[in-house]
Amino acid sequence: MRILVVDDERLLVKGMKFNLENEGYEVECAYDGAAAVELARNGRFDLIILDVMMPEMDGLETCMRIREFSNVPIIMLTAKSEDADKLMGFESGADDYLTKPFNILELKARVRALLRRAAGVQRAQGTTLTAGALTLDTEQRVAVRDGRTVDLTAKEYDLIELLMRNPRRVYSRENLMNVVWGYSYGGDYRTVDVHIRRLREKLERNPAEPEYILTKWGVGYYFKG
């Protein structure tokens, strides 16, 4: 597994690189957003750890540029803990978020969880889920709508696969956080709302009147099937 670590704090980068390499990962480093975009474009990475607060091109813009050509899982790092900053990170295409200062054990746990979920459970070749004009290839982790491939982040894919595998089952936001993200965000369940909205924008013909991903008011979300 190859990981790209991006942060302008070189001492922090050195520490993350040391600890991740001790876990068996191959780690490459960048210290600014432009270099990160170039590396991500030309190299194959299984995960990117990306700091938000960087000079010239910040992490949010860097994340958006990477999302133009890659769905690699991205963990955002920031010194800010406000909910609005976290939501901006998810809006930019991040899959996970960690606030500085952080425990290196927590970082490694999140890296493992995100890589595990991105890889997906081994399934029989050719397995697909279909509903109307929407199809998921669960081996390739690809979504297709009206015959066209739709680019989804790792977490967006995990979320829609869970819903499609369990049609008409209503999941609360807390349930979705626990199942898809694998741990609690301390009550910040708006993360789920952001991902649901982005899925509707990508998969629904009319996101304002969804036909697949529906809301049961006061309870949660479900896939109509």
Task: Confirm whether pTM is higher than 0.75.
Answer: no
Instruction: Give the pLDDT of residue 87.
Output: 78
Same domain? 209 vs 133: yes
Same domain? 173 vs 99: no
Instruction: Give the pLDDT of residue 113.
Output: 86
pLDDT digits (tens, 9 = 90+) for 146-185: 889 999 988 899 999 999 988 888 999 888 887 787 765 5
Domain-ending residue, one of 119, 149, 184: 119
Tally of domains in the chain? 2
Indicate if the pLDDT at residue 20 is higher than 50: yes
Same domain? 11 vs 103: yes
Domain that holds residue 182: 128-223
Domain-ending residue, one of 66, 101, 119: 119
pLDDT digits (tens, 9 = 90+) for 53-100: 998 899 999 999 998 888 889 999 988 766 677 778 888 889 888 988
Q: 132: domain CATH number?
A: 1.10.10.10
Instruction: Give the pLDDT of residue 81.
Output: 67
Indicate if the pLDDT at residue 217 is higher than 70: yes
Average pLDDT over residues 14-30: 95
Same domain? 27 vs 70: yes
Cβ neighbours of residue 40 under 8 Å, at least 6 residues apart? 4, 48, 66, 69, 70, 72
Q: 47: domain CATH number?
A: 3.40.50.2300
Same domain? 144 vs 101: no
Domain-ending residue, one of 100, 119, 138: 119
Same domain? 90 vs 139: no
Asked whether the beta carbons of 55 and 33 are under 8 A apart, the reply is: no
Same domain? 110 vs 135: no
